[in-house]
Amino acid sequence: SKTCLPHLRKSRNPHILNLSPPMNLNPMWFKNHCAYTISKYGMSMCVLGMAEEFRGEVAVNALWPKTAIHTAAMDMLGGSGIEKQCRKTDILADAAYCILTKPKSFTGNFVIDEVLLREEGVKDFDVYAIAPGASHALKEEKKLSGSQHGGAKVNAESAPATSSPVAETFRVIQGAMSEEYVRSTQGVYQFELSGDGGGTWYIDLKTKGGSAGFGQPPVTADVVMNMSSADFVKMFTGKLKPTLAFMSGKLKIKGNMALAIKLEKMLTQLNSKL
């Protein structure tokens, strides 16, 4: 970008496009491949920095696939038959074209190929599949698990402040995770919170080691809870009983009620740490 910048500034509609994912700071995505994650997230941070630095002059965006893309590397890592779970590179090419033909005011975005193409009017995604008709078998790109990719734009404003009461509560929950909690619970909880520090949060007490944080859970949630951020903090600090919150309508629960009750038992043990 440094070398190209003088030439880009002479262009009528200059763009820089990185192939890098929306950032998800869940430690599970650094484990086992820390160097690779650092390299990809380094590119994502460059998008944030350069988009702001060159705002009004050069558009800077990132593009990432929603599903696995069939490449030689995927064949090597995934083995025989993996191509049936992948899409062709054509979907990234089409998404890149959409981005690069937008005005330079479209900048600082973390774009997911399928999300953008749907917004552009594409309805048939079977044409991108290596095995048409097997969309149910497509392999989702791992680094999107837990990240915000419901829309084309994912920026710093979409993530809650790390100092918010909700973020602090989840930080403590993550620190209190233990194999015993995972073994005794075996459930995944998703929280849809409204108000300050809200959004989608999760507690995974099913996957080995457990995890908690902002965004969609790494696996499908067994229980989805809707409530305000303020009531969530009260509930997790012992100031509001989950049963009372549910009965009064402050807490709405969908899914496995038995697992919801298990979470209440865990809260009793966590209250001293929160």
Q: Is residue 135 part of a domain?
A: no
pLDDT at 140: 61
Q: CATH no. for residue 101?
A: 3.40.50.720
pLDDT level of residue 247 (50, 70, 90 thresholds): confident
Structure tokens at 272: 């001293």
Is 68 or 58 the better-scoring residue by pLDDT? 58
Domain boundary (105, 128, 151) is at: 128
- Is the predicted pLDDT of residue 160 greater than 60, yes or no? no
- Both 26 and 104 in a single domain? yes
pLDDT level of residue 235 (50, 70, 90 thresholds): confident
Q: Is residue 152 part of a domain?
A: no
- Average the pLDDT over each of 28-32, 128-132, 139-143, 153-157 and give the range with the smallest value: 153-157
- Judge whether 189 counts as a catalytic residue: no
Q: Is residue 145 part of a domain?
A: no
- Both 122 and 169 in a single domain? no
The DSSP-derived string for 15-34 is EEEEE-PPP---GGGTTT-H
- Both 97 and 205 in a single domain? no
Q: Is residue 143 part of a domain?
A: no
Is 176 or 123 the better-scoring residue by pLDDT? 123
- Both 186 and 266 in a single domain? yes
- Is the predicted pLDDT of residue 155 greater than 70, yes or no? no
Q: Is residue 137 part of a domain?
A: no
- Range picked from 23-37, 40-54, 204-218, 225-239 for highest mean pLDDT: 40-54
- Is the predicted pLDDT of residue 154 greater than 60, yes or no? no
- Both 107 and 209 in a single domain? no
pLDDT at 159: 46
pLDDT at 17: 98
Give how many domains the chain has, as a whole number. 2
pLDDT at 212: 83
Q: Is residue 157 part of a domain?
A: no
pLDDT level of residue 150 (50, 70, 90 thresholds): very low
- Both 84 and 10 in a single domain? yes
* Pairing of β 187-194 and β 223-228: parallel
Q: Is residue 69 part of a domain?
A: yes
Q: CATH no. for residue 187?
A: 3.30.1050.10
Mean per-residue pLDDT, 238-255: 86
Residues 143/91, Cβ–Cβ less than 8 Å: no
pLDDT at 68: 86
- Both 118 and 40 in a single domain? yes
Domain boundary (109, 128, 147) is at: 128
- Both 117 and 179 in a single domain? no
Mean per-residue pLDDT, 180-193: 90
pLDDT at 157: 40
Average pLDDT, the chain: 83
- Both 252 and 171 in a single domain? yes
Separation between Cα atoms, residue 113 and residue 132, nearest integer Å: 18
Structure tokens at 230: 């303020």
- Is the predicted pLDDT of residue 185 greater than 70, yes or no? yes
- Dump pLDDT digits (tens) for 78-127: 677 788 888 999 999 999 999 999 999 889 999 999 989 998 899 999 99
Q: Is residue 74 part of a domain?
A: yes
Which domain does 175 fall in, by range?
165-272
- Both 177 and 259 in a single domain? yes
Q: How many CA atoms lie within 13 A of 103 on its CB side?
A: 2
pLDDT at 5: 95
Residue 66 phi/psi, 5-degree rounding, is -80, -30
pLDDT level of residue 211 (50, 70, 90 thresholds): confident
Domain boundary (128, 152, 178) is at: 128
